[in-house]
Amino acid sequence: MRITILSFGIAKDITGKRFLNWEMTAGASVGELRKSLVESFPRLAELASVRLAVNSEYVPETLELSENDEVALIPPVSGG
């Protein structure tokens, strides 16, 4: 299934693009997607943290992804 990846802040510097199309096997979890992304972009592992938000919501890593989900890479936030 296809997942859309959005990268922000330093995560965008690392992935090189705001939007990426990412293939995962059906039923993959957020945790499995994280693993797959870190394999392709090892520098993500150097960050203080990266949260994955699915369709604009923070979710547990165990959540099963669905076709066309939009997953955002959220490095440490620093607003305010």
Cβ closer to another protein: 26 or 48?
A: 48
Taking the complex as a whole, how short is the minimal distance between the CB of residue 14 and another protein, in angstroms?
10
Closest CA to 3 of 74, 51, 65: 65
Phi, psi of 27 (to 5 degrees): 85, 5
Hey, CA dihedral for 32, 33, 34, 36, is it positive or negative? positive
Taking the complex as a whole, how short is the minimal distance between the CB of residue 26 and another protein, in angstroms?
25
Taking the complex as a whole, how short is the minimal distance between the CB of residue 63 and another protein, in angstroms?
16
The neighbour count for residue 42, using CB atoms within 10 Å, is 10
Q: Which residues bind another protein (CB under 8 A)?
A: 6, 8-10, 13, 46-48, 53, 56-58, 72, 74-80
Cβ closer to another protein: 24 or 74?
A: 74
